Amino acid sequence: MQHGGGVTGAEAFYPSTIPSARNGPPPHELRSQGGTLPCAPRNDGAMPAAMGWLANAFTWWNGASWGTSIVTRRRGKEVGRDETGNLYYQDKKDPRRRWVIYAGANDGSRVPPAWQAWLRGTIDDLPDKSLPPVRKFQTRPTPNLTGTMAAFRPDGALGSGRMRPASTGDYEPWIPE
């Protein structure tokens, strides 16, 4: 996702959502004049909440809702935190019940494989205790990039900017006799 005046998210598909396409100055002029857009990215790269603190009462995709936070405080015991800041909880009465509170977007692909195994009950102890240390050849897991500008686009796809190579002519379709 680009910041600083670039086209992002829905703006790429719905140009009318860009302020300059409606009326008023374009986003980069608003920022240069010291103003901000209502849902513009902040300087630190995070998106501001559209409804502020009230958003957590009605939405689950911006983080833990009020209900989740209340249940987590009453019934959950924090057992760990991963390198991305996700918090992992276990039910106080039934240790088989486990859940995660995401640090950022609620996306299951942002949970590292070791914690994924713990959440699903594949391992009983915490990943630090029950799994071997990470080896040198292992790479860090990446979140699902589908729908982002970093997603793979083959040659000839609309967003790739490259042309698909011409066919080589070695294909012969089967024709029934």
The answer to whether residue 90 scores a pLDDT higher than 80 is yes
Q: Give the residue-averaged pLDDT of 140-167.
A: 84
- Sign of the CA dihedral with 18 first, then 24, 25, and 28 last: negative
How many CB atoms are located within 10 Å of the residue 92 CB?
11
Report the candidate in 149, 165, 81 with the shortest Cα–Cα distance to residue 118: 81
pTM given for the model: 0.57
Report the percent of the chain where pLDDT is more than 90.
28
Q: What is the pLDDT of residue 23?
A: 43
Residue ranges of domains in the chain? 11-48, 56-130
Q: Give the residue-averaged pLDDT of 127-142.
A: 90
Q: What is the pLDDT of residue 86?
A: 92
Per-residue tokens: 119: 């959440």
Q: Give the residue-averaged pLDDT of 32-49.
A: 46
